[in-house]
Amino acid sequence: MRLFIAIQLPREIKEFLAELTSFKSTIDGVNIVQKENFHITLKFLGEVEEKIIPDLISTLKSLSSEFSNFTLKITTPGVFPDKIKPRVIWIGTENTETLRRLAERIDEETASLGFQREERQFKSHITLARVKNHRNGKYFFEKILKKFSENSFNFQFEVKEFVLMKSTLTAKGSIYSVLERFPLLK
């Protein structure tokens, strides 16, 4: 089972991001994330054996009690790895201390269950599109920046939980479903 741990987004933010990425025609070599799949990944786990899932859920339930609700603000668009050859187009969030600590604690606790530690520093973002054609990716990113600058955009939301998500790969793209919710302390 392919799993990851994430923060889900409120409907109004998903609506805005879907509008931001909607263009009259598709752009070859740029795969836009479907509105229902927008999220902030805290930890990608990959393929997980079903026998490990109860321990994973128990660990995450315990960890969630260490954190209170917190506010996240959506910031500006960006790309990985760079603007010359973009592979991922995203929109950022403030990398608050609480969010950074949450991702760090999840990484620590999942490592104790045998999952690989993250080598890169956590960079909070919402993936908007994945790029196969760099030239078209640059064009798409420029369109996103232009659209973003034309909108008054000041979204923030309260994070009240994180979720364990299952990712099912299909011919039409990934389908995400929630396996478990982990409420934070109020």
Q: Which listed residue (33, 77, 115, 125) is catalytic?
A: 125
Q: Which listed residue (17, 32, 39, 126) is catalytic?
A: 39
In degrees and rounded to multiples of 5, residue 57 shows phi and psi of -65, -45
- Is the separation of the CB atoms in 90 and 126 below 8 Å? yes
Is position 39 annotated as part of the catalytic site? yes
- Is the separation of the CB atoms in 144 and 127 below 8 Å? no
How many CB atoms sit inside 10 A of residue 40's CB? 22
Name the burial class of residue 9, with classes exposed (0-12), middle (13-18) and buried (19+) by CB atoms within 10 angstroms of its CB: buried
Is position 134 annotated as part of the catalytic site? no
DSSP 129-174: EEESSHHHHHHHHHHHHHHHHHS----EEEE-EEEEEEEEEETTEE
The CA dihedral of 27, 141, 163, 73, to the nearest 10 degrees, is -150
81: cis peptide before it, omega within 30°? yes
- DSSP H or E stretch at residue 76: strand 70-80
Active site residues: 39, 125
